[in-house]
Amino acid sequence: MQENHPFSKFIAILARGKTKQRHLTLDEATEAMEMLVSGKTEPEQTGAFLMLQRLMEETGEEIAGFANGSRKSMQFPDGMPSVDIDWSSYAGKKRQLPWFILSALLLARNGHKVFMHGTEGHTPGRVYTRESLAALGIPVADSYDMASAQIIANNFSYMPLEVISPALHNMINLRPVLGLRSPVHSFTRMLNPYNAPVMINGIFHRGFMNIHADAAVLMKQPHMCVFRGDGGEPERRPGKTCEVWSVHDGKISEERWPAILDDPRQAADEGMDINDLAAVWHGTLSHEYAEAAVCGSLAIALRTMQLADSIEQAETMARDMWDGRDKAAVPAAA
């Protein structure tokens, strides 16, 4: 009789039926994802596992374990520079441009080292970070050496998931095959390759905020925020109140940020012209929504970095940084 594949035990845990199935423990999730990312599973197992996990809906332990297991399979070079903020971008934007990119670049211009990572192309009709950075004249990193050099020179780098982990990139791209997003879309936000003390995350479904906060505690992430951002990206929606879950040294807290603009139903940007990103930065295009999104997202980051003692102070600091930017400079230049 043929022996069961070593990975089959994880599928069995999730698929034993309503009375016997259960979630994975932290250690089980870590081992399972390490096997998946390392190529120690069969294609059929990968699809079955991802969809069973989607059906069960992942827990904080599973998110933390999947991120830890992925990291264990990755190769990190020696001598990587320290990074202040890990800023994920995995959703793409379909109603508004990714204004949060300017928030991250503004932090970089003010001396904070920002590493951004994400992916693109998994959902048609969206504008992604890679193409937006290209419109700003900022090349994406194709290796850790390039990313590290960019961080040292300009305090900012963006690396696509396909460079960080080709295996995870392939799993995300299974969406058209499986018909649904998988947990990979959630836990890749927590990879934090440079071990930055501050992590900025955006999600689409409100129910994932406590899950990501729980995962951050289990991963011993010093500082992290997660909020329901526009399109699922870490971008504050100016016309709506914003609930932010934060983790600071193992403790979870919640804050409700007020709306910035009066209109809660902001009309979609019909043009979605990525050249508007540079125009708003340089001040040649007046755009109330864009400035509110940039400053609002930046304020949340400043609060998470513990540079502001209150929401009001964070918003004032963000506006001052925006108003004081060098409009003539290239956004990414340090």
Reported as a single tens digit per residue, the pLDDT across 167-210 is 999 999 998 888 888 889 899 999 999 999 999 999 987 778 99
Contact 81, 148 (CB under 8 A): yes
For residues 202 and 237, give the distance between their C-alpha atoms in angstroms, rounded to a whole number.
11
Based on the fold, state whether residues 177 and 251 are members of the same structural domain: yes
Of 65, 57, 67, nearest in space to 28 by CA: 65
pTM: 0.94
Residue 39 burial class via C-beta count within 10 angstroms: exposed 0-12, middle 13-18, buried 19 and up: exposed
Residues 99 and 29 in one domain: no
Do residues 43 and 118 share a domain? no
**Residue 27 is part of a domain; what is its CATH number?**
1.20.970.10
Q: Which among 30, 49, 73 is the end of a domain?
A: 73
Q: 296 and 185 share a domain?
A: yes
For residues 310 and 281, state if they share a domain: yes
Q: Report pLDDT digits (tens) over 102-125.
A: 999 999 999 999 999 999 876 667
Check residue 249 and report its DSSP letter. T
The answer for 250, left when phi > 0, alpha when psi is -120 to 50, beta otherwise, is: left
Structural domain contains residue 221: yes
Q: Does one domain contain both 162 and 262?
A: yes
- Domain containing 53 equals 8-73
Residues 6 or more apart from 237 whose CB is under 8 A from it?
228, 229, 230, 266, 293
What CA–CA distance (Å, rounded) separates 194 from 294?
A: 24
Q: What is the pLDDT of residues 126-144, one digit of tens each?
A: 899 999 999 999 999 999 9
- Regarding whether 107 and 41 lie in a shared domain, the answer is no
Domain count, the chain: 2
**Whether residues 128 and 58 fall in one domain:** no
> What letter does residue 222 receive in the DSSP assignment?
S
**Is the pLDDT at 82 greater than 80, yes or no?**
yes
pLDDT at 334: 47
Domain for residue 182, yes or no?
Answer: yes
- The residue among 266 and 315 whose pLDDT is bigger is 315
Q: Report yes or no on 79 lying in a domain.
A: no
CB under 8 Å to 245, separation ≥6 — which residues? 209, 210, 212, 213, 225, 226, 227, 252, 253, 254
Q: Looking at the structure, do residues 62 and 156 belong to the same domain, yes or no? A: no
Assess if residue 334 is contained within a domain. Answer: no
What are φ and ψ of residue 279, in 5° steps? -65, -40
The whole-angstrom separation of Cα 17 and Cα 182 is: 20
Q: What is the CATH number of the domain that holds 152?
A: 3.40.1030.10
On whether residue 177 sits in a domain, the answer given is yes
Instruction: List pLDDT tens digits, range 12-22.
Output: 999 987 778 89
Question: Is position 234 within any domain?
Answer: yes
**56 and 137 share a domain?**
no
> Which of 17-26, 39-48, 86-95 is the least confident region?
17-26
Q: For 101, what's the count of Cα atoms within 13 Å in the CB-facing half-sphere?
A: 33
Let me know whether 96 and 152 are in one domain.
yes
